[in-house]
Amino acid sequence: MNLLIIGAPGAGKGTMSELILKNFPLVHVSTGDMLRAAVKNGTPVGLKAQEYMNKGELVPDEVIHDIIVERLSQDDIDNGFLFDGYPRTGAQAVDLDAILNELGKKIDCVINLDIADEELIKRITGRRLCPNCGEIYNIYFFPPKEEGKCDKCGADLIQRKDDNLDSLKVRLGEYHKNTQPVIEYYEAMDLVKQVDASRAIEEVFADVKSILEGLC
Ligand code: AMP
């Protein structure tokens, strides 16, 4: 079973990927993780990718092509994989088909975590963290008992720098522009399963799990 998971920033892609990997024997292939490792290790790919990543821009398709070809040449992907954060552009989706074709493989299912931008804005701008114990709150959905204070340890809650409305709007705009063609590409192949990601984690995962069990 070869899967893709697609979703806007804040849609719960990371959480769903973790739950999928706990329940199904798939290899996780995250271009974001691979690029961060390349940057950390100062490899040629890392040096090329760093400037784009620092600006929050997409890394050029040729760089992504090379890391995907390298990753798919390893034996562990033969039993199935979950692509996370890739393909991010229409050109990457077309390129992936060509790469998989060469390997005699294909994508079996694309999970689209569907959620309205207004909901994402509340999720992200409402997020507050405890710098002391790591507890996460949301002022709209899961507020602390006393405003601005951690229920567990009493520390003052903080907001992450990139959890602000301006940067979120840029990230969402980029996401829709680049990723909508990816969804349309796979919709034309009848591979997309829409999952309403505005619900609680357990409910969203129950849907994802039943979709994947239907494929096994
Ligand atoms: P992520 O962890 O998936 O949000 O990725 C972090 C950063 O890595 C992104 O902001 C991009 O700069 C870069 N990146 C990850 N995956 C891709 C991709 N498929 N295409 C282009 N850039 C990517």
Provide the domain limits for residue 18: 2-26+79-115+174-213
**Ligand 1 pocket, 59 CB below 6 A?**
yes
DSSP per residue over 147-189, as a string?
TTB-TTT-PBPB--TT-SHHHHHHHHHHHHHHHHHHHHHHHTT
The answer as to whether 100 is a domain residue is: yes
* Neighbour-count burial for 142-181, b at 16+ CB within 10 Å, e otherwise: eebeeeebbeeeeeebeeeeebeeeebeebbebbeebbee
The answer as to whether 19 is a domain residue is: yes
71 catalytic? Reply is no
Q: Which of 111, 118, 136 is nearest to 1 (CA)?
A: 111
Q: Structure pTM?
A: 0.86
Ligand 1 mean position, distance from CA 174 (Å): 12
Domain count, the chain: 1
Query: How large is the angle between the packed helices 90-103 and 165-187, nearest 10 degrees?
Result: 50
Tokens of 84: 């996370």
The answer as to whether 109 is a domain residue is: yes
The answer as to whether 148 is a domain residue is: no
Query: From CA 97, how far away is CA 146, in angstroms rounded?
Result: 52
Q: 95 and 62 in contact (C-beta within 8 Å)? A: no
Instruction: Write the CATH number for 195.
Output: 3.40.50.300
Query: From CA 77, how far away is CA 89, in angstroms rounded?
Result: 22
Q: 91 and 64 in contact (C-beta within 8 Å)? A: no
Burial of 91 (0-12, 13-18, 19+ CB in 10 A): middle
**Ligand 1 pocket, 121 CB below 6 A?**
no
**Ligand 1 pocket, 182 CB below 6 A?**
no
Protein residue whose Cα sits closest to atom 6 of ligand 1: 32
Write down the pLDDT at residue 10: 86
> Residue-wise pLDDT tens for the chain (216 aa)?
999 999 998 898 988 999 999 999 999 999 989 999 999 999 999 999 998 888 778 899 999 999 999 999 999 999 899 999 999 999 999 999 999 999 999 999 999 999 999 999 998 899 899 999 989 899 998 999 999 999 999 999 999 877 788 888 888 888 999 998 999 999 999 999 999 999 989 999 999 999 999 987
The answer as to whether 59 is a domain residue is: no
Question: Which one of 6, 50, 58 would you pick to mutate in the ligand 1 pocket, going by the greatest count of ligand atoms within 8 A of its CB?
Answer: 58
Question: Running DSSP on this structure, what letter comes out for residue 198?
Answer: T
**Ligand 1 pocket, 37 CB below 6 A?**
no
128 catalytic? Reply is no
**Ligand 1 pocket, 58 CB below 6 A?**
yes
The answer as to whether 22 is a domain residue is: yes
The answer as to whether 155 is a domain residue is: no
Helix spans in the chain (H): 13-23, 31-41, 44-55, 61-72, 90-103, 117-125, 165-187, 201-215
Give Cα separations from 112 to 16, 21, 77, 144, 205 (angstroms): 11, 17, 22, 31, 12
Counting from 1 in the atom list of ligand 1, the atom nearest the Cα of 33 is 2
Q: Which of 66, 69, 73, 96 is nearest to 191 (CA)?
A: 96
The answer as to whether 191 is a domain residue is: yes
Counting from 1 in the atom list of ligand 1, the atom nearest the Cα of 9 is 4
